[in-house]
Structure 1
Amino acid sequence: LTTGRPLQAIGTFLEELDLLGENQYSITFNGGLVQENTGRILDKTGFSIDDVRVIRQVTNQLDLPLDVLYGGD
């Protein structure tokens, strides 16, 4: 399954589509995270803190909301 949502938010869909077994994968956060549906992360792509600062400056100027998640590494 591919989505902009986090894995925790699509559990109902995964269950309905019978995608909870072994070798089932999801691409979440609009492609930023590839993981097994068990939660194990296979690959991820993110922005540097400097990139986030630039993006935040632009969203502030445009009066747009911005949600940022930090993966801790």
Structure 2
Amino acid sequence: MAETDPKTVQDLTLVVQMLQQQMQDKFHTMSDQIIGRIDDISSLIDDLEKNIADLMTQAGVEELEGENKIPATQKS
């Protein structure tokens, strides 16, 4: 390896550096897309929870101790 051509080593180094930069750029782009989708999903879940709560209120249902729900008219 002592007799290697410096230009070839330099070229190889540049190719590896460019590939590394491209991989970092793609990783950053994909990370941003994933975070954006998580934010969108979080917003949709919040909206869904609000709509369910509104529907329960309109139906006269109250939430008692987690999952136990009874109509407001049947409470003792």
TM-score normalised to structure 1 length: 0.25
Query: Which one has a bigger Cα radius of gyration?
Result: 2
Larger RCO, structures 1/2 (Cα 8 Å, 6+ apart): 1
TM-score normalised to structure 2 length: 0.24
- Give 1 or 2: higher strand fraction: 1
